[in-house]
Chains A and B, each alone.
Chain A
Amino acid sequence: MKRRLAAAAALGLSAALALSACSSSSKTGSSSSSGGQVTLHFFGADYGTAGTSNSTQIYWQDIATAFHKQNPNITVDIQTIDWNDFPAKLHTLLQAKNYPDIIEGDAPQAYAQEGIAYKASDVLSQSTLDNLIPTFAKQGDYQGVEYGIPFTTSTRALYYNTKLFKAAGIASPPTTWAELKTDAAKIAALGNSTIGYGMPLGTEEAQAESFMWMLGAGGGYVNSGGSYTINSAANLTAFNFMNTLVTAGDTEANPGTVNRATLWSDFAAGTVGMVGGSPAVVPIIQTAGKLTSSDWATAPFPGENGVVSNPLGVDDQIVALNVHNDQGAIQSFLNFAYQDTYQAQFDKEYDLLPATTSAADAQESDPIFGPFVKAIPTSSSYPVNANWSDVGTKIKQTIGAAVDGTSPSTVLGQIQQFAQSDQ
């Protein structure tokens, strides 16, 4: 009797498993529209802190709600994930064939290569397209056609703590690497576990910190022809110099494991002398309340022989996928979301820069953001190679080792090899 019961239970269990497997596979395969009702799935990065009032989930949810009021037959389902987990989560969704309709935060080239992305002109009105800042709009190109749509942008500069500078007897921010090293050493010597220069090479955004140093040596990820040059002599110079900073104790310990978010909040707490950052550092400083506005300032990032004239400019792109054939609905949602009011609201919330010319013009005279906005036209961007997304992930996972004891030529060489083999 007992055995039969167990067998029946096993039968029931296996039937349930089989059923659930069927239902889940049919769910992922189905188009999300039914009976005139369309549900769009939006997957984006969270620029704030999940679960708090500054979560980007709330920003998008407000837009989606307002949009649904005007278009009752279109519902937009919003999901945002913090930057550190964003690549893993996104790839898990895609690998499970669970395609979102709109992705914010990833480069569009790989989707275009697969033929699953809408052209920007298919999902955005001409007037909105013309309003995008040209430097960043061309970052969405794949084989000469624009697929990605820049949504938010930032340029990078060196934040420095004027109070610590004064205490260490330094008059002005560094303009060369040598000066940066001297200054960082003086600040680290202040004691109290003060960090001279914060070097975030952890998985969150190692590709940005690395790029800023490469630019300082006249290097970069690709040459003008678009071929990868990750282990070029200039890049190796940059990493060799970074190593001298790390071994001298002028940075935090083990930079390869430290994320940008940690160092930005440490800077806001007043324990870091210098750190590279986007305008998004400003609200962190203000929330922490440890530094007054006269305790910190920004300066152009120093290079090997002088300040970097082509600083890192980052744009986060939106790409729309054609997997569910919801072009009309996506188009009306994106046109709605790209209104100046929403762009301004986003920039205000996260102190990032706009992607549209009209919104950027409005900010050019701002005392804090003006210098960042003015740097946009000459800024250097990430490569637009189709496999950049994969290469970026590889960089995030491994490049920190180049300052943690493994030789830079080995680490950069392996990344270069991966970049060339994974075309």
Chain B
Amino acid sequence: MDTRPAAPVEARQDAVVAARIHQTPGRRLRRALAPLPWLAPAVALIAFVVLWPVWEMFQTSRQHINSYGFNLGNYGWTNYSTLFADPNLGSVMLRTVVWTLAIVAATMLISLALAQLLNRAFPGRRVVRWALIAPWAASVMMTAIVFRWMLDPNNGVINVFLHQIGVVKEFNGSQASWLGNPNDALIWMMVVAVFVSVPFATYALLAGLTSIPSEVYEAARIDGAGWWRTYRSITIPLLRPAMLVAVLINLMNVFNSFPIIWTMTGGGPDYQTSTSTVYMYSLKQFNIGESGALSVVNFGVVILIVLVFLRANRSTLKEG
């Protein structure tokens, strides 16, 4: 919201134009380059840790490299044609989409409710807020290993519990082997992924909720707005910037999520629980070129998500 009075802006612009008329090209260049010393470190950092690796990755994807890392020369687009002819690619990409969307959606819904709860004053709120950090602070790999053991078909605690309440009929059977069956394994891994993503999203939304001024709610109450109406017309719109940040960061994290799947199923059997990140890693063990091509594709997907997301939320982000 630009609340500055209009006149001084115009006056300043006049001054800039006047200054420009009196400048020689050399001085203008110097003026344009003046911020460079301050920007250079950041630019160098981005070039070094972002752009250069991207270029290297693209170069790698066009080389013929065997699994021992020996470069056997230029390969043109062969790695890409191998990748697109790969019978597993379609199902892996589809699974990646389902995986990402399902987890982000579930995370946001749960976090919205949790953030509302934690925004209310109740005895022990501080303890609950701290407890929520635990799954976030714990190593994802550790969490995934713990869940893998809890789902052990022979003596995992989840199976023991399900057996006691009569859901699982027999240990070691196909029903108890949750991680052996691709569909069940995916659902369990999504549960773990939601479990580790919820804390961050909740805190982001909680920060958004606390920043909504109470006067707005007061005004709504005076106008006689009901609970649902208040939530829809005040909470949600004012929460939008926080929600956008949470969704975007979650999308990236979940899309790139590796440790959960790798630890719990290794992407198997036969890549049937692999997302594109996990599949890329499996390929790397015997076909670096195809793996490189897939990482270029993955990078493209990430860029695409960001662009679509920024475009769809242009107005909101400007306000924020």
Which residues of A approach B to under 8 Å, CB–CB? 3-4, 7-8, 10-11, 13-14, 17-18, 87-88, 91, 94-97, 110-111, 114, 193-195, 202-203, 249, 252-254, 256-258, 266, 271, 389-390, 393-394, 397-398, 400-401, 404, 406, 411, 414, 422
Contact = CB atoms under 8 A, between A and B. Distances in A.
B52 to A, nearest CB: 10
B42 interface: yes
Contacts of A393: 67, 285-286
A17 B153 CA distance: 46
A398 B272 CA distance: 10
A96 B69 contact: yes
Given A97-B69, A256-B268, A401-B272, 17 more contacts: A7-B42, A11-B40, A14-B44, A95-B67, A96-B69, A114-B66, A114-B70, A252-B153, A253-B174, A254-B174, A256-B269, A390-B66, A390-B286, A400-B269, A404-B269, A411-B270, A422-B286
Given A193-B154, A202-B268, A11 B68 contact: no
Contacts of B269: 254, 256-257, 400-401, 404
A404 B270 CA distance: 9
A422 to B, nearest CB: 7
B179 interface: yes
Contacts of A414: 87
Give the interface SS of chain B, mostly helix, strand, loop or mixed.
loop
B298 interface: no
A252 B172 CA distance: 7
Interface string B272-294: 10000000001011111000000
B286 A10 contact: no
Contact of B48 (A17, A110, A266, A389): A17
B49 interface: yes
Contacts of A397: 268, 270-271, 282, 285
Nearest to A191: B170
A114 B153 contact: no
B172 A195 contact: yes
A277 to B, nearest CB: 19
B59 interface: no
A174 B57 CA distance: 54
A169 to B, nearest CB: 22
B265 interface: yes
Given A111-B68, A195-B172, A406-B270, A91 B284 contact: yes
Per DSSP, chain A at the interface is helix
A411 B272 CA distance: 13
Nearest to B282: A397
Contact of B172 (A4, A203, A271, A400): A271
Nearest to B152: A262
Contacts of A252: 153, 172, 177
A48 B173 CA distance: 29
A193 B171 contact: yes
Given A203-B266, A203-B268, A253 B173 contact: yes
Contact of B179 (A114, A195, A257, A406): A257
B180 interface: yes
Q: Number of contact residues on B: which range applies? A: 35 or more
Contacts of B265: 257
Interface of B: 38, 40-42, 44-45, 48-49, 65-70, 87, 153-154, 170-177, 179-181, 265-266, 268-272, 282, 284-288
Closest 10 CB pairs of A and B: A254-B180, A401-B270, A256-B269, A95-B69, A253-B174, A11-B41, A193-B172, A253-B177, A10-B41, A193-B171
A95 B66 CA distance: 9
Nearest to B173: A253
13 contacts: A14-B41, A88-B285, A91-B68, A94-B69, A95-B68, A114-B66, A114-B70, A253-B174, A390-B287, A393-B286, A398-B271, A401-B270, A401-B272
Nearest to A18: B48
Given A14-B48, A88-B285, A110-B68, A253 B268 contact: no
Contacts of A4: 38
B154 A422 contact: no
A3 B286 contact: no
A266 B285 CA distance: 30
B141 to A, nearest CB: 13
Contacts of B268: 202-203, 256-257, 397, 400
Given A4-B38, A10-B45, A393-B286, A256 B68 contact: no
A257 B182 CA distance: 10
B173 to A, nearest CB: 6
Nearest to A392: B286
A134 to B, nearest CB: 28
Contacts of A257: 177, 179-180, 265, 268-269
B285 A253 contact: no
A62 to B, nearest CB: 30
A354 B180 CA distance: 36
Contacts of B285: 87-88, 91, 393, 397
Given A14-B41, A14-B44, A401-B270, A394 B286 contact: yes
A412 to B, nearest CB: 12
